[in-house]
Structure 1
Amino acid sequence: MKRGWRWLGLSWAVLAIGTEAAQCFDRAAQSHRFVVDSHLHFQPFSGPALPHEELIGYLERAGIQYANVYGIGQTRIQDWGCFHGGRCDSDVIMPTMKNDFLNAKNLADHPSRNVGLTLSMTFPDLQHPDTIVDRMDILDSEFPGFFQWMGEANVVKQALFVWGHEPATLEDIDAWAPFMAKLRERQMPLALHSDFGNDQDPLKYLPLMQAILERYPDNVVVWMHLGMSREQRDMEPRQHTRILSELMDEYPNLWLDISWNVLYDYYFSEPTRRPFYVDFLNQYSDRVLTGTDIVASEHTGYSQYERALDDTSYINQFLDDNAFRNIALGQSYFNLLGWDKSAPAICTKE
């Protein structure tokens, strides 16, 4: 399906991977780094962001050709005002539209010449969904045609519990129906952070994602980080990939994201765990996206971005050619967005 959208970059054929789209990709001679960073936060949790054009410079230098422009799912209140008479110095974190306005304004003021950018609405408060449709309309009115994605939004993110975040409930998920209908109408993917569980209770929060998929099977849902987190460093890979496989088979609109170095640190870099994920990714690569998950604050240097890129690209070298083309060269990303673009074929051995 080809979606209407506002083009914010150049076509594949003139970008760095080759002079022509038909040119094959030589895995033996070229990098296994991915060229689509579909999970990149242009705005931080707190404090000033890295200047937009500087971050684009990082992407160009690293060979990234396409990127998703995320804000951040939740932001410290003290950075954007007081609400309902609360303290202005509160450390509570809440969703906000601020970052989406900033990202849209930056894209309008600084069109990218060498990196294709897809802009995402990251404001949704999934625990209080009644205002989401109205706020979507506000962003569309202010920046018509700019937003083609929604997320990363937090269903449950244990790392934020100390900041006041609470998991969505089944009742909350039922109340998503109006904005999920609008996403279906616009054919917009919804990227969700939803922890599987933790090392004490590996499947604790899995029922939340199962409920989402059961309730909204016609929505495209991208599950971030394969559901993993720093609270879950010891998920048994056979069980993990089996559950993911069952969900992928049952729900054809479920996509997965393998961003964030937590997957590299605890799963992909481990020789005894990696084969389970390589086999899984080879099987489902046409619905897998990748990215760095860098949060670009003013203190983020190029070396940090490059290290994250190396970590999150590490698994690519073990993939078969079809999966490498889908994931590392971006064909799955193009397909999800309905773009009439083709990643290079993999060069065959003579």
Structure 2
Amino acid sequence: MLLKKPLLQVWLCGAAFACLPGASFAERAERIYSDAQLHYVNFVQETDGMEALFKAMDEARIQDVAIMGLGVAKKWEESAPREPRYYMGDEAPVYYYSATDALLAEAIQTLPGQQRERLHPFIAGFNPTDMNAVRHVELMLEMYPDLWKGIGEILTRHDDLTALTKGETPRANHPALDAVYELAAERSLPVILHSNLTSKREREPIYRQELKEALAAHPQTRFIWAHAGTSAEIHRYQGKIKNLDTIVGELLAAHDNLYIDLSWTVLEPYLLEEGVPTPRWLALVEQYPDRFMIGTDLVGRFGNLGKNIQGFDRFLDALPQEVADKVARTNLLALLPEHD
């Protein structure tokens, strides 16, 4: 039986995407990236260091990085048979760790000017349920003037990490964050916010309203929504969030101050399904070409930086070249405050 021509064309294109209007192989080889979310330290506040970071950035063709510490640290309990390396390594809690910002700032200040210009540090070391949280942000801005380019990653709803964190449950619309969001708007600092759409067991987006209220109450604050509300643990229990592209599209339409970080948990199974770009996500990114960016979300270890950032190439290659360039590099830069 003969195949109809449109179906035949799709079949012949296959995984190579030869018929798609996106990047050529030569253009992909020359693609320059910005990493929209990278943590300088891991959950025990250790790092490979700046030399390893820049080596990995250069090898991966990553010119710019939104870099931050980690606002929590994992406790090593006396009863543990070994030191935990990750927040889920054992049942011990995590606690808020404000020194993470100073560790990052001091490391950046030792760098030569050309390297410093490639790093865009964010303030992350505060308790998002503390009504005095904004004081820490103000202190960092005073201690390291002209250094900071954003605030976050603010860790709110985050399944097991939330469960292990000592104290009150953080949420995107917590009153303690109002002053932080207002300061961010005053200083033109974007805010990276982690706020899961739902829990591991609930298939409905039970936390969406918290995010919507924060966006509506602070229209002058530019929010970068980390992982579009997804997490590895949600996927482990549910496979994927149903109609995530529709939910994201509705939020983007309603809130001009919302931007999406498509870091690793969004890559599979949303942007790509079995390695093939998803048409609905391609259409959504093309509809809002200035509102998406990519990030690795690595924590303190940089050996996989190139692998992680280039994992987006199949999706980027399926986009028009101008849109792909924005998502891969310039959308993040457009959100940062201007250099002095």
Is the TM-score greater than 0.5?
yes
Per-residue CA deviations over 1:224-248 (Å, capped at 9, x if unaligned) read 11111113323356x2212211111
Pick closer, same or farther for the CA change 1:112–1:315 going to 2, 3 Å.
farther
Distance 1:338 1:181, change over 3 A: closer
Among 235, 238, 255, which residue is 2:240 paired with?
235
Aligned residue number for residue 56 of structure 2 = 58
For residues 155 and 188 of structure 2, the distance between their equivalents in structure 1, rounded to whole angstroms, comes to 20
User: CA shift at 1:145, angstroms?
Assistant: 1.1
Task: Give the match's secondary structure for 1:197.
Answer: coil
Name 1:119's counterpart in structure 2: 121
The answer (yes or no) to whether the contact 1:256–1:287 under 8 Å persists in 2 is yes
CA distance in 1, matches of 2:338, 2:141: 21
1:182 and 1:42 map into 2 onto residues whose CA distance is 24
Distance 1:269 1:154 in 2: 26
Counterpart of 1:186 in structure 2: which amino acid? Answer: R
Equivalent position of 2:335 in the other structure: 336
Structure 1: runs of 5+ lacking an equivalent: 1-24, 80-89, 341-350
- Counterpart among 264, 267, 278 of residue 264 in structure 1: 267
Deviation at 1:77, TM superposition (A): 4.3
Tell me the TM-score normalised to structure 1 length: 0.77
SS at match of 2:66: strand
Contact residue 174 and residue 215 of structure 1 kept, 8 A: no
1:161-219 Cα distance to aligned partner (Å, 9 max, x none): 4523664258x623322222211110111101111114632312212211211222221
Amino acid at match of 1:243: I
- 1:317 counterpart = 2:306: no
Contiguous gaps of at least 5 residues in structure 2: 1-21, 78-90
How many angstroms apart in 2 are the aligned matches of 1:306 and 1:273? Answer: 20
TM (norm. structure 2) is 0.79
2:261 maps to 1:254: no
SS at match of 2:310: helix
Hey, what does 2:213 align to over in structure 1?
211
Q: Is the contact between residue 23 and residue 320 of structure 2 (CA under 8 Å) also seen in structure 1?
A: no
Q: Distance in 1 between matches of 2:36 and 2:176?
A: 28
User: 1:121-166 CA deviation, whole Å, 9 max, x = no partner?
Assistant: 01132122x2222212221222111111001111110131452366
Are the aligned partners of 2:234 and 2:240 in contact in 1 as well (CA < 8 Å)?
A: yes
Amino acid at match of 2:259: W
Deviation at 1:49, TM superposition (A): 0.9
Q: Aligned in 2, Cα 1:116/1:47: closer, same or farther, shift over 3 Å? A: closer
Q: Tell me, what secondary structure is at the counterpart of 1:247?
A: helix
Percent identity over the alignment is: 21
Q: CA offset at residue 307 of structure 1? A: 2.0
Moved over 4 A (4+): none
Amino acid at match of 2:256: P
Number of aligned residue pairs? 298
Supply the distance in 2 between the matched residues of 1:291 and 1:169 (Cα, whole angstroms): 22
What secondary structure sits across from 1:232 in the alignment? helix
Q: Distance in 2 between matches of 1:313 and 1:263?
A: 14
Query: Which whole-Å CA distance do the structure 2 matches of 1:139 and 1:169 have between them?
Result: 23
Farther off after superposition, 140-149 or 101-110: 140-149
Cα distance 1:49–1:247, how it changes in 2: closer, same or farther (>3 A)?
A: same
Structure 1 residues 99 and 269, CA gap change in structure 2 (3 angstroms): same
